[in-house]
Homo-oligomer: A and B are copies of this chain.
Amino acid sequence: MLTDFYEITMANGYLECGFQDKEAVFDMFFRKVPDNAGFAIFAGLEQLITFLDNLKFSEDDLEYLRKSKMFSEEFLDYLENFTFDCDVWSVPEGTPVFPNEPVIIVKGPIIQAQFIETMLLTTVNHQSLIATKANRIVRAARGKEVMEFGARRAQGYDAAIYGSRAAYIGGCSSTSCVISANEYDIPVAGTMAHSWIQTFDSEYEAFKCYANIYPDNCIFLVDTYNVLKSGVPNAIRVFDEILKPKGIIPKGIRIDSGDIAYLSKKSRALLDQAGYQDVKIIASNSLDENIIRDLQEQGAAVDIYAVGENLITAKSAPVFGGVYKLCAVEHNGKLQPRIKLSETIEKVNLPHLKKLYRFYSKETGRNVADLVALWDEEINVEHGMTIFDPNASWKKKFLTNIEKKELLQPIFQRGKLVYQMPSLEEIRNYCMEQVELLWDEVKRFEFPHKYYVDLSFKLWDLKNSMLSDLGARGLE
């Protein structure tokens, strides 16, 4: 029932029109990558699968709908006995994806394929947003660890929980969120807040007490009073007094305010002088990929970046604009392509049931282009392949020495789950590998190169002839 009301009015409407068994095909795709980035990371499939595999309507749901007096008893019966019966294809979680290519396809009775729109979009839009942002931040950190610390600023509980799952897929190394760490087996991180320090009569006593309780997990927050005059000296004193006698190497210090570049370098020097070369410096305080890039460039002595609100809300661009559009519908027993014209050119979609291919260079192993084709086309790359820009079809490119991979995997067949979900660890590793295969130009933070997402000639031709046809009817 996490759905928009119109999904229900339409579903009831399809039933009333006798369309309930009419087959339809919907694509999920997106038009722009947040932050004007070169690619997005697809995430959220596992939660979508769980939802679709358990889709049913409670007595309370039905009662609510009955009370609105808008729906027939036949429809309420249909919902009561609902079984999901669609085919679903999806790209695997962790895949780098690009604008205007289908990342999920749903084919089945229109009443069902329509109904799942809101839930499908909410799930995939949210996690893809956070995985994409996390991957940017992780790449900015150039090999330094990134911890996800955002729960308190997340847009609600699920945003914290699924957000830290998505952040892990995007490359974060740990989370502060306990429920998420427990549920998804993500490494958990965190030690103390300023309030711990303030509860004691002095910073020194606060550190000492902590070190006695958690000798193996000492990360001291050093900025409650003054990082260089108080925090780091007190940390060193406690390392010396409590941990050194036990032979334990302290874990780290955390700086949460002030100028991180300056303070981290000065703190590093103090720690090194005291013989604590292995103690890590953790930085937090409204970090994002831009500040991290700057800090890295200025040689900040930070080992681990802890990132909160800017990651968990994708603050600089907090919307992943995935849409779900009808692209074919059964007519006289045959699938007929559909296109949406609309008043805004960019909103025109790709008609018909499709496949998505990714071409890799046999030489370098890197991605060279994606191709969207009709579902029943033969795509043969053995003797090379000519691709062209769908918006400027005279711009052609001949690709040789490539191999192709089909990206959309079968997830449900006639409502039966046929996909074996990889573990979160496998998804994260797959994501890291696939991002490695992208050109550096596509990974640039500002004004990245536009990756080629081209159409097969047949699909391009179908789209253009449908548009011409609408034009001829005066509807351009």
Considering only CB atoms, which chain B residue lies closest to A60 in the complex? Answer: B182
B191 touches A9 (CB 8 A): yes
Contact with B along A143-155 (1 / 0, CB 8 A): 0000001011111
A460 within 8 A of B: no
State whether the Cβ of A435 lies closer than 8 Å to any Cβ in chain B.
no
Please give the distance in Å from A206's CB to the nearest CB on chain B.
9
Q: Given A1-B179, A158-B159, A344-B258, answer yes or no on A195-B114 (Cβ-Cβ < 8 Å).
A: yes
Complex-state Cα separation, A258 to B345, whole angstroms: 9
A198 contacts the other chain (Cβ, under 8 Å)?
Answer: yes
Q: Is the CB of B156 within 8 A of A326?
A: no
Give Cα A209–Cα B149 distance, bound, in whole angstroms: 51
CB-CB under 8 A from A68, the residues of chain B are 188
Interface centre among A126, A157, A230 (most CB of B within 10 A): A157
Given contacts A178-B4, A313-B319, contact A194 B152 (CB under 8 A): no
* Contact residues, A302-317 vs B (CB, 8 A): 309-310, 313-315
Contact assessment for A125 and B110 in the assembled complex, using a CB-CB cutoff below 8 Å: no
Residues 445-476 of A, flagged 1 when their CB comes within 8 A of B and 0 if not, give 00000000000000000000000001000111
Partner of A326, one of B130, B195, B201, B212: B195
On whether the beta carbons of B126 and A155 are closer than 8 Å, the reply is: yes
Beta-carbon contact of B193 and A10 below 8 Å:
yes
Q: In the complex the two chains form, is B156's CB within 8 Å of A325's CB?
A: no
Interface residues of A in 117-165 (CB under 8 A from B): 117-118, 121-123, 125-126, 129-130, 149, 151-163
| Chain B CB within 8 A of A26 CB | yes
Cβ contacts under 8 Å, A442 to chain B = none
> Chain B contacts of A110 at CB under 8 A?
199
Contact (Cβ within 8 A) A198 B326: yes
| Cα distance, A201 to B322, chains bound together (Å) | 26
* B residues in contact with A179, CB < 8 Å: 1-3
Binds B, one of A83-91, A221-229, A274-282: A221-229
Q: Is A189 an interface residue (CB 8 A)?
A: yes
B-chain residues with CB within 8 Å of residue A122 when the two chains form the complex: 151-154, 156-157, 160
Please tell me if A394 contacts chain B, counting CB pairs below 8 Å: no
Convert A333-371 into 0s and 1s, putting 1 for each residue whose CB lies closer than 8 angstroms to a CB of B.
000001111111001000000000000000000000000
**Complex formed: what's the CA distance from A152 to B116 in Å?**
11
By the criterion CB–CB under 8 Å, are A163 and B152 in contact? no
Chain B, Cβ-Cβ closest to A227: B343
Stretch of A14-22, A245-253, A396-404, A411-419 contacting B (4+ beta carbons < 8 Å): A14-22
* Chain B nearest CB, measured from A147 CB (Å): 10
Contacts A6-B176, A342-B223 given: A155-B318 contact, CB under 8 Å? yes
Chain A 216-267 interface residues, beta-carbon cutoff 8 Å to B:
217, 223-227, 229-230, 256-259, 263
Contact A319 B315 (CB under 8 A): yes
Residues of B within 8 A of A159 (CB): 126, 155-156, 158-159
- In the A-B complex, the 9 residue pairs with the smallest Cβ-Cβ separation, listed nearest first, are A258-B343, A156-B158, A6-B190, A5-B190, A195-B326, A121-B152, A257-B343, A318-B318, A155-B155
Extra pairs beyond A3-B178, A122-B156, A126-B156 (10, CB < 8 Å): A5-B181, A6-B191, A9-B214, A10-B193, A130-B155, A155-B158, A156-B158, A199-B338, A223-B343, A258-B343
Q: 20 pairs across A/B with beta carbons < 8 Å?
A: A2-B151, A4-B149, A4-B178, A5-B176, A9-B192, A9-B217, A10-B193, A13-B209, A14-B199, A16-B209, A114-B195, A122-B153, A195-B325, A198-B329, A223-B343, A224-B340, A224-B341, A226-B343, A314-B318, A318-B318
